[in-house]
Structure 1
Amino acid sequence: MKAYLLSLLLGVVVGLIYHVVGVKSPAPPTVALAGLLGMLAGEHAITFVRTLLVHVTS
């Protein structure tokens, strides 16, 4: 849980810095969130498939 809070805090800090400096985000927010969702889905998919394989082979 600590890693999630730290990640969120750093994201907010970087967003504030981008706003103050006047730099646009490298990706539109929707695209960035879709990419993060894909990364999370891929990470959890591997664990899910491993769990299924353990149940199927045993």
Structure 2
Amino acid sequence: MKMYLLSLVVGLFVGILYYLLDVKSPAPPLVALLGLLGMVIGEQFIPAIKILIK
């Protein structure tokens, strides 16, 4: 839980920093969220395959 809270706080800080510096997000929100979803799925892919093989 602590890791999720830290991630949220850092994300909020970066969002505020982007706003203050008038910098656009490097990717549209939907594209960024899909990229993050892909990363999470990819991170779990190898362990899932290892479980299926056993």
The TM-score normalised by the length of structure 2 is: 0.90
Q: How does 1:1-58 map to 2 (within 5 A)?
A: 1-54=1-54
Unmatched segments (≥5 aa) in structure 1: none
Distance 1:39 1:19 in 2: 26
- Residue identity (%): 56
Match of 2:25, SS state, is coil
User: What residue identity is the alignment partner of 1:13?
Assistant: F
Moved over 6 A (4+): none
- Structure 2, unaligned runs of 5 or more: none
Please tell me the root mean square deviation across aligned C-alpha atoms, in Å: 0.8
